[in-house]
Structure 1
Amino acid sequence: MRTRIALALGAALALVASLFAFSLPAHADTGFRVQDGRLVDAAGNDFLIRGVSHAHTWYTHQTGSFADIKSLGANTVRVVLSSGDRWNENSAADVENVVSLCKANRLVCMLEVHDTTGYGEEGAAATLDEAVDYWLRIQDVLHGEEDHVLVNIGNEPYGNDQGVNQAWAADTIDAIERLRAAGFEHTLVVDAPNWGQDWQGIMRRDAPQVAAADDNTVFSIHMYGVYEQESTVVSYLEHFVNAGLPLIVGEFGHDHSDGNPDEDAIMEHTRRLGLGYVGWSWSGNGGGVEYLDMVEGFDVNRLTPWGERIFHGPDGIGETSVEAPIYGGGGEPTDPPTEEPSEPPTEEPSEPPTDPEGECTAEFRVTNEWSGGFQAEVEVTAHTALTGWVVTWTSPAGQTVAHSWNTDLSTSGGTVTARNVAYNGTVAAGAATTFGLIGNGTAVAPDPACAAA
């Protein structure tokens, strides 16, 4: 997660294939792999990740946490490691022990390098290339563990600096190439930019390039304050499912300093769509976000409200987790979707929709606000089948748009024009799509107009 999480010691816790003249090695015949947009094991069984992040690199002595996490029903533990670029490097011997603890407790290990968090915005952050250097240093202890280990190359590898994070796809492909060329056959997991939340839609836009370059990579979205609305959660998840791209929610919480994520929607719709999730985090959070601890003081008998929710609540780990087939588990808690995903839920509009008999309508919703700024979501509903759309509005006095995602947005004077991008212009009659923005000024919702383009 974005490293607003401070540790007790003071450290922060918190791609097109034709462009290449060679092809990357195919996935291993053993181990996890991506098949038809889903994560499966060597025998082709679906594996639905239900896991917990554990801050091992800062709490290396808390080895009992692996058994405790398993005891509450998780089938995966996402293990925080350091490449030595920001924190003390986890040695090959230490990682070998972590893998043995995962195996002893019948858990799948998702290993991640945390030093990359917020690169381009966080001055101390490591590059993806430096993360790959670390994976190569410890490769020997991971060789042969493709059945038990997923490699999450780097945590939240870019911040919000658009001068840097637009290179996400190219840099991610470069990192994958290096790992595959060195002999890594593990399923790889790649995090989104924007501190993992992809509010600019970079991973959503460019994931097909990465998937074309490597057939055994899973995409990971982190859901915090950007995902306050159920419709935003649904839109993002369904986009990847509809595109046949493998996705997990690699981090999420029940609250955060940047907004209140809808954890109920995250858990409900990952279950409905057959997608994995990993909650943040077991224990050890500080700096004002202790509420993200699932247990107090690494004590499995002291569950917090967040711990109770994720382990014992509806669509939680206890209700939906199935042990990995490699350990003898099998089947699924719910069948994967056999019909088209439902449309994003809509809320009661604050104002009557514009021109309900026209080609489309647009609803502007403020989802978060702060002094001098706000976050908003615009939902476009098609009344006839669309192959493109354009939404316009007049900004209230003093209001401007600073950033936007899932749209090509421009301003002229006080008029804002938002057009579809390549992946969301086609909308079936009765269906909807959404885009978002960050605004400056007062959080007043304008009355947008929508038309076919």
Structure 2
Amino acid sequence: MRRTTSAGAVVLALLASLLVLVQPASAAVGLHVSGTRILEANGSNFIMRGVSHPHVWFQNQTQSFADIKSFGTNTVRVVLGSGQRWGPSTDVANVISLCKQNRLICVLEVHDTTGYGEDSAAATLDQAATYWISQANALRGQESYIVINIGNEPFGNNEQVNATWATATSNAIGRLRAAGLDHMIMVDAPAWGQDWQNIMRNNATTVFNSDPDRNTVFSIHMYAVYSTADSIITYLDAFRTAGLALVIGEFGDVFPGGDPDEDTMMSQAQSRGIGYIGWSWSGNSDGALDMTLNFNPANLTAWGQRILNGTNGIRQTSREATVYGGGGGNDTQAPTTPGTPTTSGVTSSGVTLSWAASTDNVGVTGYEIYRATGASGGTFALVGTSTGTTFTNTGLSAATTYRYNVRARDAVPNYSASSGTVSVTTQSGGGGGTGACRVNYSGSNWGGGNGFTGSVTITNTGTAAVNGWTLAFAFPAGQRISLPGWGATWAQASGSANVTATNLEYNGNLAPGAGTSIGFNGTFSGTNTAPTSFTLNGSACTTG
């Protein structure tokens, strides 16, 4: 993690020229890079889907390794101390054991280097290298299981000091290699990890070629500087053009000074086959980037839900390393496209879909069902999954047109193209609502000013599951939502009092008695009067 940084003007230009990469001097052992890819010792692709864990500050939270794994995570980035600010961490062997027990690839990082050149307490990369060499006995022989992340965000925003990044990084790599540490090495960018001056981007080839093992992966931390799709894509493109391996070594969904575009980061990582590691499991001083509250995996934050359970998130895209027996290997063949769905059992609130099965060279593991509202336009959103070729979607609004398509996935996962689209209109329902939902709403005004935080809990009080929902209400006193909110896709047209909130992937299915909490920040003038009438999928809900 870092402190708040000043992004400045971000100018991301194409690389003017790149040196031809030198071939490795000797075959790498264990995890190693090959062009833009990370490979295991057996040659299988490995794409990191990871979570950072603040071990050095919470050494008693060893259960977190198992909890992180429970979401399908294949990598954990473990915060250690080299002794200049925290630690020194002398339990490296035990940390590696915890990673291996929980079938996790272990990225070990020294955090003391954070912000060197701007933070007077920060350690140098040379001091970090000394620490790693002191832990060599615990590290040797673990090349298939661990990655050495030499130093976290090793330079701040001091331009004169940042200019030494390439030399300092190359020297640290050289010291580790001279000590017989042949592990894959991960190096962080300067400028608090965000490289807004493109120092790492422009010098990465030189650093890579300085590694005698040619086994270095570069790590970019994407926060406030990367608030647009263009800034993210341009940076990732530069490393692909250079033929260098890159991971998004830290990122989040909120950050002071800018709003990171985590959706583009995750979708681009998935489509390009590059790794990402989110910050962080729990324990942040401000809590904004905690994935769990108090290290409790049953109490996920909005950020935790997004990265662990959301579209292109860890549960959906992670594949366990083959060194632990994970499947997939080098399978890059996607399933065939499933058939266009047909509909049956159409009621005022539900429909059943069926489609012809896909085939795959290894095997189809499931299907994802996507839905858009209306006869045209709108965005298709994931509303459910199925291991077979049928799916029933309930909780729909009466007399409303919906469109559906499906896609198949295998174990890697490789995804098929989307099927053709079927359109269906639900039956008229007679109006008035069923009362099979309850909404609790509260608006908490901020101290001073005209801001407030709205908190909403939706509970399914009916006897049937709700698969996909849209909550609707109207503000009575001219309040405005400050998008994007959390826990749902919020919408409020300009000049309108009407508000809608549509489920995200992780909370679209509400079993009888189940609920979900969502919220937003907003503004008001005068009195912040709470709305009193809510509908869920067009049916009126009780309140309180």
Q: TM-score, normalised on structure 1? A: 0.68
Question: Which 4+ stretches in 1 moved above 4 angstroms?
Answer: 332-337
> What is the Cα deviation at residue 87 of structure 1?
1.4
3-state secondary structure, aligned to 2:221 = strand
Q: What residue is the counterpart of 2:469 in the other structure?
A: none
1:330 aligns with 2:320: no
Q: Which has the higher helix share?
A: 1
Structure 2 partner of 1:280: 279
Q: Is the 8 A contact 1:17 1:213 kept in 2?
A: no
In structure 1, distance between residues paired with 2:305 and 2:136: 37
Alpha-carbon contact 1:157-1:195 (below 8 Å) kept: yes
**1:117–1:155 Cα contact (<8 Å) kept:** yes
Separation in 2, partners of 1:144, 1:204: 31
- 2:276 partner SS: strand
Question: What does residue 115 of structure 2 align with?
Answer: 118
Note if contact 1:272-1:336 (Cα within 8 Å) is conserved in structure 2: no
Shift of 1:4: 5.4
Report deviation, 1:227.
0.2
- Shift of the 24–17 alpha-carbon distance from structure 1 to 2, 3 Å rule, reads farther
Matching of residues 46-445 of structure 1 within 5 Å: 46-91=45-90, 94-214=91-211, 215-286=214-285, 289-331=286-328, 335=332
Q: Partner residue of 1:389?
A: none
Other structure's SS at 2:79 match: strand
2:345 is aligned to: none
1:202–1:250 distance in 2 versus 1, CA, 3 Å:
same
Deviations 1:224-263 (A, max 9, x none): 0000001100110111112111000000000011211000
Q: Is the 8 Å Cα contact of residues 44 and 329 (structure 2) preserved in structure 1?
A: no
Task: Pick closer, same or farther for the CA change 1:325–1:318 going to 2, 3 Å.
Answer: same
Q: 1:200 to 1:101 in 2, by over 3 A?
A: same
In 2, Cα distance between equivalents of 1:160 and 1:119: 9
2:6 counterpart of 1:2: no
> Aligned equivalents of 2:303 and 2:208: distance in 1?
34
Give distance in 1, aligned partners of 2:38 and 2:278.
Answer: 18
Q: 1:150 to 1:170 in 2, by over 3 A?
A: same
2: CA distance between counterparts of 1:336 and 1:167?
A: 43
Letter in 2 for 1:230: A
Shift in CA distance, 79/308, structure 1 to aligned 2, threshold 3 Å: same
- Measured in 2, the distance between the counterparts of 1:328 and 1:36 equals 25
Q: Residue 297 of structure 2 aligns to a residue in which SS?
A: coil
CA distance in 2, matches of 1:332, 1:285: 36
DSSP 3-state at the match of 1:74: coil
Distance 1:24 1:243 in 2: 16
| C-alpha distance in structure 2 between counterparts of 1:334 and 1:235, whole Å | 28
SS at match of 2:250: strand
Which whole-Å CA distance do the structure 2 matches of 1:290 and 1:332 have between them? 37
What SS does structure 2 have at the residue aligned with 1:237? helix
Please report how far the alpha carbon of residue 330 of structure 1 lies from its aligned counterpart in structure 2 after TM superposition.
2.9
CA distance in 2, matches of 1:315, 1:114: 28
Could you say if the C-alpha distance between residues 281 and 166 of structure 1 is closer, same or farther in structure 2, counting changes exceeding 3 Å? same
What is the percent sequence identity of the aligned residues? Answer: 53
Paired amino acid for 2:187: V
Following the alignment from structure 2 to structure 1, what is the Cα–Cα distance between the partners of residues 240 and 333?
11
Contact preservation (8 Å) 1:271, 1:334: no
- State the distance in 1 between where 2:148 and 2:333 align: 24
State the distance in 2 between where 1:133 and 1:87 align.
15
CA contact (8 A) 1:3 1:117 kept: no
Count of residues in correspondence between the two structures: 319
CA distance in 1 between partners of 2:84 and 2:189 (Å): 20
- Report SS of the residue matched to 2:176: helix
Compared with structure 1, are the counterparts of its residues 336 and 277 closer, same or farther at alpha carbon in structure 2 (3 Å cutoff)?
Answer: farther
Q: Could you tell me how far 1:220 is from its partner in structure 2? A: 0.2
> Which letter maps to 2:250?
E
The verdict on how the C-alpha distance between 1:333 and 1:277 changes in structure 2, with shifts beyond 3 A counting, is: farther
How far apart in 1 are the matches of 2:112 and 2:279? 17
Question: Counterpart in 2 of 1:394?
Answer: none
The answer as to whether partners of 1:73 and 1:321 remain within 8 angstroms in 2 is yes
Q: What are the ranges of 5 or more consecutive residues in structure 2 without an aligned counterpart? A: 6-17, 335-544
Give 1:26 shift: 3.6
Alpha-carbon deviation of 1:39?
0.6
Alignment-derived partner of residue 353 in structure 1: none
Q: How far apart are 1:171 and its partner, in Å?
A: 0.7
C-alpha spacing 1:158/1:237, structure 2 compared with 1 (3 Å): same
1:301 counterpart SS class: strand
2:44–2:330 CA contact under 8 A, matched in 1: no
SS of the residue aligned with 1:179? Answer: helix
Q: Distance in 2 between matches of 1:4 and 1:229?
A: 18
| CA 1:336–1:99: 2 relative to 1, 3 Å | farther
SS of corresponding position for 2:249: strand
Deviation readout 1:389-431 (Å, 9 max, x if unpaired): xxxxxxxxxxxxxxxxxxxxxxxxxxxxxxxxxxxxxxxxxxx
| Deviation of 1:120 (Å) | 0.3
Distance (whole Å) between structure 1 residues aligned to residue 164 and residue 275 of structure 2: 26
Q: Equivalent residue of 1:109, what SS? A: strand
Which sections of structure 1, spanning at least 5 residues, go unmatched?
6-15, 338-453
Instruction: Tell me how far 1:161 sits from its aligned partner.
Output: 0.6
Distance across 2 between alignment mates of 1:131 and 1:155: 10
On the 8 A contact 1:32/1:147 being kept in 2, the answer is yes
Cα pair 2:4 2:257 within 8 Å, conserved: no
Superimposed CA distance per residue, residues 117-154 of structure 1 (whole angstroms, 9 cap, x where no aligned partner): 00000110000000001001111011100000000000
What one-letter code is carried by the residue in structure 2 that aligns with 1:71?
Answer: S
Of structures 1 and 2, the one with the larger relative CO (CA 8 A, separation 6+) is: 1
Change (3 A) 1:316 1:167: same
Q: Structure 2 CA distance, aligned partners of 1:52 and 1:333?
A: 24
Q: Using the alignment, how far apart are the partners of 1:332 and 1:284 within structure 2?
A: 35
Displacement of 1:336 in angstroms is 9.6
Secondary structure of the structure 2 residue equivalent to 1:226: coil
> What is the identity, as a one-letter code, of the residue corresponding to 1:32?
L
Q: How far is the alpha carbon of 1:276 from its aligned partner? A: 0.1
Alpha-carbon distance in 2 for matches of 1:138, 1:58: 19
- Distance in 2 between the 1:47 and 1:205 partners? 26
Deviations 1:183-202 (A, max 9, x none): 00100000000000000000
